[in-house]
Amino acid sequence: MNDTPYRLYGRRNAGSLAIQVALEELGAPYRIEWIPKEPSAVESYRRVNPEGRVPALVLPDGTLLTESAAILIHLAGSDARHRLAPAAGSSAHAHFLKWVVSLSANLYETALRYYCPDRYSTAPADAPRIQAQAAKDYERHLAAAAAALNPYLLGDSYSVADPYLYMLLGWYPGDMTALLARFPALKRHQELLKARAAVARADADHAER
Ligand SMILES: N[C@@H](CCC(=O)N[C@@H](CS)C(=O)NCC(=O)O)C(=O)O
């Protein structure tokens, strides 16, 4: 077995949280390289990841993998003993893929519209309108996830789709207390995730300091 550590490129309070949870759940050796937001730091990071975005994961064989959904699906499939995804080819796995892709394409995309509105228009004056739409969409996508929870996205089975949802819920830009009161399934999900050692470790590392 290759025991070269994974190298996770991340940023506090950013998309590397769910990836770190998956690495922790696997008990895989890894180290985190924190990429500050400063343009000079991002510029030198482009030597590793030309997109300049986090998260990115360098696999033990040196392969660079970007896109949080792809990284999570890859890690879940890398060691089936940890049961971080249903068996490939099963209908449960199809359902798993639907959720990971949906969280990436819808909820993460909405978070980017809210927090980086400048990516969506060249006119700074458009930012408030982009953010207002994103705030609405954020709640709509979370409501769809809440309707599926029982208590995890795949029913009784925990999978890497769950820390993904946990991370994206944590970025909700509105009143979190009111949201969780409206959606008790999301509240329960957040409590279940916080109780996992892997999540507590990643949360502690990702806390802004
Ligand atoms: N679709 C990508 C989005 C990654 C992304 O945009 N990450 C943000 C942080 S959460 C970022 O790196 N922003 C800085 C930038 O775009 O310069 C993924 O799922 O990994």
pLDDT, residue 18, reads 98
The ligand 1 atom at the shortest distance from the C-alpha of residue 11 is: 9
Non-local CB neighbours of 25 within 8 Å, separated by 6+ positions: 82, 84, 160, 163, 196, 198
Residue 63 CB burial class (10 angstroms; 0-12, 13-18, ≥19): exposed
Ligand 1 contact, 86 CB (< 6 A): no
pTM exceeds 0.75, yes or no:
yes
Spacing of C-alpha 187 from chain mean position? 18
Say how far apart CA 172 and CA 115 lie, in whole Å.
10
Out of 16, 40, 54, 115, mutate this one to test ligand 1's pocket (max ligand atoms within 8 Å of CB): namely 54
Say how far apart CA 164 and CA 111 lie, in whole Å.
13
Out of 40, 49, 53, 67, mutate this one to test ligand 1's pocket (max ligand atoms within 8 Å of CB): namely 53
Spacing of C-alpha 62 from chain mean position? 22
Q: What separation in Å is there between the alpha carbon of 51 and the centre of ligand 1?
A: 9
Nearest CA to ligand 1 atom 14: 53
Say how far apart CA 33 and CA 9 lie, in whole Å.
5
Asked if residues 18 and 71 have their Cβ atoms less than 8 Å apart, the reply is no
pLDDT, mean of each 10-residue run, the chain (209 residues)? 88 96 98 96 97 98 98 97 96 98 98 97 96 98 98 98 98 98 98 98 92
pLDDT, residue 129, reads 97
pLDDT, residue 78, reads 96
Residue 89 CB burial class (10 angstroms; 0-12, 13-18, ≥19): exposed
